[in-house]
């Protein structure tokens, strides 16, 4: 029936010559969208004025569209309820290797770069790259965005370690309610290199500093002192939630959140669905979701991750323009790498110059882009 309605709508606009209009209709009604013209933004997103504090600028992204995303379960919700479990590989007596790649493992089959996830809920589970799970033999982060369907078998899950100095039994895995900051997410999501992930944890940022930049408030020597005094296993969570770091981060977060709430209050017919983030004059990152509800579920830990990155990056006197931030709403033109689990999700990576775009589409109950990231690569 939905297909017939869609057909009548398309038939009603056959007189239109604008390919952009047809592409927009495809996006609205959940069909396969016609790619937007170069330089045009996807959907009907709009940037608000930036929220600025020190070297950080956050541009709220708003939309008049509303998708129902209550169908999907987040990692926070699943681990808190016990409906989702994360285990070391081999802890249930079954050794797994999904792709045949040899990874470091102990005699029990546990692997640095793979865990096992079980979804016992009645909703598909949404995982975002960079989400941290704490416990087991080491703390890990999710390697890439994906959906885990209802009733699936124990799933081999690709992860990256963010605790270099421990490989011993610990407590059961729990959600740390943390997404690692963009420099670490970039190394996991795009470089897919464990060594680069560890280096990003230790150095704070992978962005290069210009000669005119001011020293970062969370520079590598300060991180090294924190590791020595409070985080001997180089645990991401212990480093960036240590006494030395926490005070600066929380004060920064509170001020940015206060300004963000003021800028986004009073919206009529629109809702905040994401943000574009800049450090100094460089627009560096965006996270955009299918609904304001989904955005709100991730916003607190995303904001903290952006602040950690801001503190780790050198200070700049330049500020990013709204025009440059608007470029992060367009679809890139470049080589596409795509992975699909039929009937569950589709994952895409598009690269254009130093920009990389990653999208996660849910295939059911209808096609919708749940999460979209655009990254200005640091290396």
Helices 243-264 and 292-312 pack at an angle, to 10 degrees, of: 130
Which residues lie closer than 8 Å to 342 by C-beta, 6 or more apart?
Answer: 363
| CA–CA separation, 275 and 268 (whole Å) | 18
Encode 246-257: b = buried (16+ Cβ within 10 Å), e = exposed.
Answer: eeebeebbeebb
| CA–CA separation, 303 and 309 (whole Å) | 10
Strand order across the 146-148 sheet: 73-74, 125-127, 146-148
| Beta bridge mates, 314 | none
For the chain, 379 residues long, give each residue's pLDDT as a single digit of tens.
Answer: 434 433 333 344 333 333 333 333 333 333 344 344 333 355 589 999 999 999 999 999 999 998 999 999 999 999 999 999 999 987 653 434 444 343 444 445 678 999 999 999 999 999 999 999 999 999 999 999 999 999 889 999 999 999 999 998 777 888 779 999 999 999 999 999 999 999 999 999 999 877 667 889 999 999 999 999 999 999 999 999 999 899 999 999 999 999 999 999 999 999 999 999 999 999 999 999 999 999 999 999 999 999 999 999 988 788 999 999 999 999 999 999 999 999 999 999 999 999 999 999 999 988 999 999 999 999 7
Rounded to the nearest 10°, the torsion over CA 347, 351, 356, 360 is -10
Other residues' Cβ atoms within 10 Å of the Cβ of residue 99: 8
Answer whether 260's CB lies under 8 Å from 267's CB: no
Which residues lie closer than 8 Å to 277 by C-beta, 6 or more apart?
Answer: 56, 57, 58, 59, 182, 283, 284, 285, 286, 287, 306
Distance of CA 88 to the CA centre of its chain: 23
In the structure encoding, which two tokens stand for residue 37, read together?
């013209």
Other residues' Cβ atoms within 10 Å of the Cβ of residue 120: 14
Answer whether 185's CB lies under 8 Å from 129's CB: yes
At residue 332, the 3 state secondary structure works out as coil
- 88, 142, 170 from 108: Cα distances, Å: 9, 22, 15
Number of alpha helices (DSSP H) and beta strands (DSSP E) in the chain: 10, 18
Other residues' Cβ atoms within 10 Å of the Cβ of residue 265: 7
């Amino acid at each position: 029936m939905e297909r017939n309605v869609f057909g009548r709508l398309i038939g009603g606009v056959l007189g239109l010559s604008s390919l952009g209009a047809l592409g927009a209709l495809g996006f609205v009604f959940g069909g396969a969208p016609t790619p937007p013209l170069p330089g045009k933004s996807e959907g009907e997103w709009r940037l608000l004025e930036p929220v600025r504090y020190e070297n950080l600028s956050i541009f709220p992204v708003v939309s008049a569209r509303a998708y129902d995303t209550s169908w999907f379960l987040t990692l926070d919700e699943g681990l808190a309820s016990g409906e989702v479990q994360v285990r070391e590989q081999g802890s249930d007596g079954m050794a797994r290797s999904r792709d045949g790649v040899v990874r470091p493992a102990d005699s029990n089959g546990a692997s640095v770069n793979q865990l096992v996830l079980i979804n016992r809920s009645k909703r598909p589970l949404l995982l975002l790259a960079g989400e941290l799970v704490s416990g087991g033999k080491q703390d890990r982060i999710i390697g890439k965005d994906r959906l885990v369907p209802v009733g699936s078998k124990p799933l081999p899950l690709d992860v990256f370690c963010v605790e270099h100095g421990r490989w011993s039994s610990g407590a059961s895995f729990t959600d740390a309610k943390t997404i690692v900051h963009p420099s670490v997410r970039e190394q996991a999501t795009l470089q897919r290199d464990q060594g680069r992930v560890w280096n990003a944890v230790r150095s704070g940022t992978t962005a290069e500093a210009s000669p005119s930049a001011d020293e970062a408030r969370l520079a590598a020597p300060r991180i090294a002192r924190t590791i020595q005094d409070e985080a001997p296993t180089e645990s991401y969570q212990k480093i960036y939630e240590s006494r030395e770091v926490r005070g600066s981060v929380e004060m920064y977060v509170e001020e940015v959140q206060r300004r963000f709430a003021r800028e986004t209050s009073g919206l009529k017919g629109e809702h905040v669905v994401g943000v574009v983030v800049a450090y100094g004059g460089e627009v560096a990152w965006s996270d955009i979701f299918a609904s304001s509800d989904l955005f709100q579920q991730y916003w607190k830990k995303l904001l903290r991750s952006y602040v950690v990155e801001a503190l780790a990056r050198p200070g700049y006197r330049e500020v990013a323009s709204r025009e440059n931030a608007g470029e992060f709403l367009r679809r890139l033109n470049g080589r596409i790498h795509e992975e699909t689990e039929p009937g569950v999700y589709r994952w895409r990576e598009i690269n254009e110059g130093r920009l990389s775009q990653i999208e996660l589409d849910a295939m059911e109950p209808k096609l919708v882009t749940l999460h979209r990231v655009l990254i200005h690569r640091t290396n």
